[in-house]
Each structure stands twice: as C-alpha cells, then as structure tokens.
Amino acid sequence: MASATPRPIVAGNWKMNGTSISLKEIRLLTGMLKGVRLKCDVMVCPPATLLSRVQGLTRSSRIRLGGQDCHDKVSGAHTGDVSADMLSDAGATAVIVGHSERRADHGETDAVVAAKAAAAHKSDLTAIVCIGETLAQRKAGETLRIIGAQLKKSLPASSTATNTVIAYEPVWAIGTGLTPTPAEIRAVHRHIRKGLLRIIGPKAGMRVPVLYGGSVKPGNAEELMAVEDVNGALVGGASLKAADFIGIIKAYT
Ligand code: PEP
C-alpha cells in the first residue's frame, strides 16, 4: 500500500542558465550520488536546450529530469514555446509550471498555470505547481488567503497524488538570500496541505509532495527540510553547482 507521507523531492531549477560547459556539473552530481543512500528523489530542470544531453548523462542514475515550463497546447503555431509532449520526448518526467518568474515576466495567471498543468498531465508529466506570496502581500497579512486562492485556481481537475507536486515559493525569498522562519513556512505548508485535502481529496491530498523554495542553500537546508509538512525543496541558484546541490540533498541522507 502507498505510504501517506510523500517521498521528498529535491529539485534543481537551472532557470535560463547553462550551456554545454555546465554538463560537467551533471557528471559531477551523478558521481557524488553513486552509492549514497537517499531518502529523497533528486531532479534537475535544465533549460530545454540541454534536456536531451542531460538525459543521456543521467539515464543510468537516479536523477529525474524536469522542464521549466510548457505550453498548454500539444503543438502548433506558438513560436519559441515548448509543449509537454516535447519535454517528455526529450526525457523529462516532470515540468515546473507557474514559477513566479513566469507569472511576473509573462503575465501568467492561475488559469494559465492550471491549463499548463493539465497539459503536463495529458503528456504523463508530473506538474510542479508553484505558488507564493509577494512581500507586500505578506506584510499585509494576506499570505494564507493568497496561497489558498492560488492553490485552488492553479490546480486542474486532472490533478492526482501521483501527477502533482506543489512548490511553495515566497516571491520575496527567491534569489534574495532571505527565507521565512521555520514557523512561517510550517504555517503555510499546513494551510496548503489542508487545501489539498479539500481539492484533491482526503487520501490523495495527503500524498502530494509540498516543496519549499526560496534561497535554500547547503547551510540552511537541514533546518528548512526538517520543518513539519515540508517534503523537499525547489532550488534555484544553489542547484547550478553540484557541490552546492549535493549539500542540500544531504539533508535527506
Ligand atoms: C527558484 O527560482 O525556484 C528558487 C527557489 O530560486 P533560489 O533558490 O535561487 O532562491
């Protein structure tokens, strides 16, 4: 029988970073992971241009691959976009949708994010759905309301315990070196878990991993990953170097 506690995931989001030379970090990471007993899954989300090559290097390792975004259509006249099918074909088993940088840079609404997550599900990809409040919203005491609304509106009806991961990423913590306190993270994750029980159902909602993201580093990973209801991390900057990323993964050894 499947466990009610989600298996943690440590996922690295390379964002718009990485060319051929960065593949050495993947080689280093696969080497560092050999023989290590892990209590989490490890995922790397490189730019789409590197997916196939990273897939070649990680095929016989435990590293899973993810895309950073997908279009909500399978194919068509959408210059520059990548479909969930294309990501799957390149070796991805997951895709990040609704990252706050996509929401800010491309005006993606919760409805757009839900459509992208549904497209990911149709292509058998796990959708890593990102939600998070701005600093102004936190200061105004709006965090839980904003998070609850984003969660409800960003999850499509196709969401299940096996095809959905939530990443709670306070916008003000991304790339800033700032993090909420463990108590603040716990309060939001507990709220997200309650929302999942309502939206996905009491049993399935318990099994959806809820990651924390925002300035996770080797130095704070152990403390942040120990927070109740945190089931792993979505890591930006510190995932670019294997030596830093492994320092975060080690929170789960
Ligand atoms: C992110 O972009 O998803 C992220 C968490 O970035 P960073 O770890 O650099 O704050």
Q: Does 4 have pLDDT greater than 80?
A: no
Asked if 99 is an active-site residue, the reply is yes
β-partners of residue 11 are 43, 234
Burial class (CB in 10 A: 0-12, 13-18, 19+), 129: buried
Q: What is the pLDDT of residue 111?
A: 98
Q: Does 151 have pLDDT greater than 60?
A: yes
CATH class of 9-15+82-252: alpha beta
Q: Does 1 have pLDDT greater than 80?
A: no
The letter for the amino acid at 39 is K
**% of residues, the chain, pLDDT over 70:** 99
Tell me the best of 10, 13, 16, 225 to mutate to test the pocket of ligand 1, counting ligand atoms within 8 Å of each CB and taking the most.
Answer: 13
Asked if 189 is an active-site residue, the reply is no
| Domain assignments of the chain as residue spans, ordered by start | 9-15+82-252
| DSSP-based three-state secondary structure for 99 | coil
Q: What is the mean pLDDT of the chain?
A: 97
Per DSSP bridges, beta strands 94-97 and 232-235 are unpaired
CB of 214 within 6 A of ligand 1: the answer is yes
Q: Does 85 have pLDDT greater than 60?
A: yes
